[in-house]
Amino acid sequence: MTTVPSPLNYVDIGARGGLPRGWRILDRAGKIAPVFIEADAEEAMKLRKNGRVLCAVLGSRDGVPVELKITRAPGLTSVLEPLVEQWPKELAPRCEVVDRHQMITARLDSIWPSELGDPHFVKIDTQGYDLEVLKGFGDLLDRVLCLEIEVRLGPQYEGQPSIVDIHSFLVERNFTLVKLAPNGLQARRIMLVFNAFFVHSSATNSSAVKLWKTVNDIGSPDRVNIISR
């Protein structure tokens, strides 16, 4: 990971809606090359004008039949069944499943185009299926510099891993958690969803990681907050 090319690959898994605002600016400046991976074929078509698109359901194994649950609020769509009773009652109608698509999973290391090089920055938002996606990276995970993953403190999808499960898996693969940011209040009153930011230990001081930290408002790792009583 010593030599980092430009532009850097920004891999958005569960890419509905396209790039976050800060990354759109870097895309226009030619600093990143977006690669969108989206399971919903209709949404994947919309993304094609903004970058390279792979339409696939990622998982830990190739060829596993799964059902993509399309929810009333499309951003809550998942391979996993929503646990409606675990959502704030105001949001329950939004996570209602309105359609089901039969699909086959693929490991990322099976479909990643070799000509793209390394998946430098990765963002995963697959509504509880994130650990299965990570397991399908295989050795590609060693080539990732930075990861952003949506995690939940409480179960909202059937079979959803805990934040501890995801953290333990990534620590074993030489990643360090550098920030945990709340993703707003559900129903304006409950904090359950966070974005977790990880950096690979071999790339901590690279210019690419410094750029990623700047965009994600991540402070210096040398800063220590001392709380005195």
Taking only Cα atoms into account, the Rg of the chain, rounded to an integer number of angstroms, comes to 17
> pLDDT tens across 212-229, in order?
999 999 985 444 343 333
Please check the confidence at residue 175 and state whether its pLDDT lies above 60: yes
User: Whole-angstrom Cα distance, residue 187 to residue 138?
Assistant: 37
Summarised one tens digit per residue, pLDDT across range 180-206 is 999 877 767 778 899 999 999 999 889
For residues 20-45, give the mean pLDDT: 94
Least confident stretch, 4-18, 130-144, 195-209: 4-18
pTM for this structure?
0.91
CATH fold of 8-60+105-215 reads Rossmann fold (3.40.50)
Average pLDDT of span 127-152: 97
